Amino acid sequence: MFRHLLSGLLMIAFAANSFGQADIEIAIKNYDSDSLIFGYYLADKMLVKDTLTRTDNTVPFRYQQDSTLEQGMYILVSMPEGMFYQVLVGEGDDQQFQVVIDTTTEQKIFFQNSKENQIFYEYLHYIEQSRKEAARLEQVIQETDTVLATVREQLIEDQAMINLMVNQRQYKLLEEHPESIASILVRSNLPFDFPEFTGTDEEIQDQKYRFYKKHYFDNVNLDHPAILRTPVIHDRVTYYLDNLTVIDADSVIQSVDTLLNLMDGNPELYRYYMSFLLNKYGNSKYIGLDAAYVHLALNYYGKGKAPWISEENKAEIVNNAKKIEPILIGKQAPDFTIWKEDGSEVTLSELDNKFTVLVFWKPNCGHCAKAMPHVIDFQKKWQDKGVQTISICTKSGREYDSCWEDVKKKGMEGLINAGDKYGKSRILSKYYATSTPKIFIIDKDRNIKLKKIPAENLDAVMEQMMKIDEAESGAGQE
């Protein structure tokens, strides 16, 4: 497994240790450097465990520690070439072994006293030889004259036999070494066996999708202590969330719960991915997926399912989620009363529009300055079609008067412009307007339909919302 290592991929990291001892000796032929990086996989990352050094290039490198390494796939990276080999580290006695690397031979890497690596590399060597033979047969098939039909048929049968023998070798490994790390890697690449489905083509396709999603992790041993330190897990998780899950809040929340439930038997994996999911949906660019962040914060962190986190950090996560929860899409928009420049009131619940658009902004905000021309054009187009835009200046106190100066400067007089000099309405906290510009679309029943929409997309979004509204109104009249 000999590859180039992309620059910037390795990072220094430290991992918790358990009882035992690790002692790995690495001899590399035809290697003059005095340094060798010893790293490992952690989900989608490659991290540096240590940089091994030697004073004499005739002696092996050596990694030792008085406690065992976490099980998983480790990497040996040459310097400065950045080439690496993958090495499995199992449990117990399988952490005291010797590695010999010889790039002048076909197999390139050999092991002593490591059952895990012997199983894995014997399998890889067999697969590589089978691949070469299958490729040779394919070339002969392509070059064989069509009149030699019997020869071609035999060659195709030989190819099929190679595939059959590879499958048998895979299942033999899984049967004889079910708890090995090699079995994790082999099993994860096994194809799915779909049952027979009936119905229309569309119904069959839907059934296949549902079956595939339900059984997507069947061939991944999520309980194995090495799984987090293999290149298997993260691609599976992200594909499940980003490709097999419909990108809406309810579907994502359901998939998140399913995933964490499957990982519950592996504390380290569970902890890693709970943190990953919180960050993923806390920073999601998809509209509405902050609901998944709120769900995780309140139902996992807030209910003691993340005991590793400090009380201070937990309180910050939960409090942040509680601020977001009232303004999730589908919730009723918090009511407010704010004031125009002349002192007249603007109260959300008293407005009678098909849609009300709230635009939180502030003077001297570069993004606001770029957004406002789009907002102004949007209001001109939609103001006679039941849509009203309210610009809400987030300045207060002594800076409040700069709002009105900027309204005139930006040509915003066609909007309803309002603010709250003394913070009496608490509108900024109600709408969690910590950054600007921030845009909400609210329907006639005061439900939040969309939020965090780029100003340049407002017009296209409203076109679609009006079509949906007209379709729903027409259906209601039938």
| Predicted pLDDT at 476 | 58
CATH number of the domain where residue 371 is located: 3.40.30.10
| Predicted pLDDT at 204 | 94
| Predicted pLDDT at 12 | 35
Structural contact between residues 102 and 29, judged by C-beta atoms closer than 8 angstroms: yes
Half-sphere exposure of 48 (CA within 13 A, CB side): 15
Q: Tell me if residue 383 falls in helix, strand or coil.
A: coil
What is the rounded distance in angstroms from the CA atom of residue 322 to the CA atom of residue 150? 73
Task: Give the confidence band of 193 by pLDDT, cuts at 50, 70, 90.
Answer: confident
Q: Report if residue 170 sits inside a domain.
A: yes
Task: Give the confidence band of 426 by pLDDT, cuts at 50, 70, 90.
Answer: very high
Which residue bears the tokens 């964490």? Answer: 260
One-letter amino acid at 166 equals: V
Closest CA to 273 of 290, 256, 286: 256
Q: Report if residue 196 sits inside a domain.
A: no
Closest CA to 156 of 176, 141, 136: 141
Number of domains in the chain: 4
Residues making up the chain, counted from first to last? 478
The answer on 347 and 321 residing in a single domain is no
Average pLDDT over residues 444-461: 95
Mean pLDDT taken over the chain:
90
Structural contact between residues 194 and 205, judged by C-beta atoms closer than 8 angstroms: no
Q: 289 vs 162, which has greater pLDDT?
A: 289
Q: What is the pLDDT of residues 62-74, one digit of tens each?
A: 999 999 999 999 9
The answer on 95 and 33 residing in a single domain is yes
Q: Report if residue 151 sits inside a domain.
A: no
Average pLDDT over residues 69-81: 91
Expressed as residue numbers, the domain containing 445 is 337-477
Average pLDDT over residues 356-384: 95
Structural contact between residues 76 and 99, judged by C-beta atoms closer than 8 angstroms: yes
Burial class (CB in 10 A: 0-12, 13-18, 19+), 455: buried
| Predicted pLDDT at 4 | 31
Q: What is the pTM of this model?
A: 0.85
SS3 content of the chain, % helix, strand, coil (to 5): 45, 20, 35
The answer on 170 and 59 residing in a single domain is no
What is the rounded distance in angstroms from the CA atom of residue 211 to the CA atom of residue 407? 56
pLDDT of 239 over the 80 cut: yes
Out of 292, 327, 362, a domain closes at: 327
CATH number of the domain where residue 100 is located: 2.60.40
Q: 57 vs 219, which has greater pLDDT?
A: 219
pLDDT of 138 over the 70 cut: yes
Radius of gyration of the chain (CA): 31
Out of 327, 354, 377, a domain closes at: 327
pLDDT of 184 over the 70 cut: yes
| Predicted pLDDT at 11 | 38
Structural contact between residues 295 and 252, judged by C-beta atoms closer than 8 angstroms: no
What is the rounded distance in angstroms from the CA atom of residue 296 to the CA atom of residue 212? 25
Structural contact between residues 424 and 303, judged by C-beta atoms closer than 8 angstroms: no
The answer on 468 and 403 residing in a single domain is yes
What is the rounded distance in angstroms from the CA atom of residue 440 to the CA atom of residue 430? 13
pLDDT of 107 over the 60 cut: yes
| Predicted pLDDT at 19 | 45
| Predicted pLDDT at 191 | 84
Task: Give the confidence band of 475 by pLDDT, cuts at 50, 70, 90.
Answer: low
The answer on 13 and 94 residing in a single domain is yes
| Predicted pLDDT at 146 | 60
The answer on 468 and 347 residing in a single domain is yes
The answer on 125 and 94 residing in a single domain is no
Structural contact between residues 237 and 260, judged by C-beta atoms closer than 8 angstroms: no
Q: Tell me if residue 469 falls in helix, strand or coil.
A: helix
Cis omega before residue 80 (within 30°)? yes
Give percent of the chain above pLDDT 90.
76
Give percent of the chain above pLDDT 70.
93
Q: What is the pLDDT of residues 246-300, one digit of tens each?
A: 999 999 999 999 999 999 999 999 999 999 999 999 999 899 999 999 999 999 9
Residues 6 or more apart whose CB falls under 8 angstroms from that of 201 comprise none
Q: 471 vs 387, which has greater pLDDT?
A: 387
**Alpha helices, DSSP H only, in 245-334?**
249-262, 267-282, 290-296, 311-324
Number of H helices, E strands in the chain: 13, 17
The answer on 349 and 449 residing in a single domain is yes
One-letter amino acid at 425 equals: S
Least confidently predicted of 18-32, 83-97, 110-124: 18-32
Half-sphere exposure of 215 (CA within 13 A, CB side): 13
| Predicted pLDDT at 103 | 73
Q: Report if residue 156 sits inside a domain.
A: no
Q: Report if residue 28 sits inside a domain.
A: yes
The answer on 458 and 354 residing in a single domain is yes
The answer on 432 and 367 residing in a single domain is yes
Task: Give the confidence band of 5 by pLDDT, cuts at 50, 70, 90.
Answer: very low
What is the rounded distance in angstroms from the CA atom of residue 410 to the CA atom of residue 365? 12
| Predicted pLDDT at 1 | 31
Task: Give the confidence band of 472 by pLDDT, cuts at 50, 70, 90.
Answer: confident
Closest CA to 216 of 202, 232, 200, 228: 232
What is the rounded distance in angstroms from the CA atom of residue 166 to the CA atom of residue 142? 23
The answer on 268 and 177 residing in a single domain is no
Q: Is the dihedral of CA 158, 160, 166, 171 positive or negative?
A: negative
What is the rounded distance in angstroms from the CA atom of residue 292 to the CA atom of residue 252? 7
Q: Report if residue 153 sits inside a domain.
A: no
Concatenate the DSSP letters of all residues of 74-121 into one string: EEEEETTT-EEEEEEE-SGGGGEEEEEE-TTSSS-EEEES-HHHHHHH
pLDDT of 14 over the 70 cut: no
pLDDT of 10 over the 60 cut: no
What is the rounded distance in angstroms from the CA atom of residue 189 to the CA atom of residue 343? 68
> Residue 33 to residues 8, 40, 82, 114: CA-CA distances in angstroms?
20, 21, 12, 25
Tokens of residue 219, six digits: 């061939």
What is the rounded distance in angstroms from the CA atom of residue 257 to the CA atom of residue 85? 36
Concatenate the DSSP letters of all residues of 182-231 into one string: HHHHHHTTPPP-PPP--S-HHHHHHHHHHHHHHTTTTTS-TTSTTGGGSS
Out of 327, 349, 378, a domain closes at: 327
Structural contact between residues 281 and 252, judged by C-beta atoms closer than 8 angstroms: yes
pLDDT of 197 over the 80 cut: yes
From first CA to last CA, the distance across the chain in angstroms is: 66
Q: What is the pLDDT of residues 307-347, one digit of tens each?
A: 999 999 999 999 999 999 999 999 999 999 999 999 999 99
The answer on 250 and 208 residing in a single domain is yes
Q: 38 vs 149, which has greater pLDDT?
A: 38
pLDDT of 106 over the 70 cut: no
Q: Report if residue 134 sits inside a domain.
A: yes
Q: Report if residue 109 sits inside a domain.
A: yes
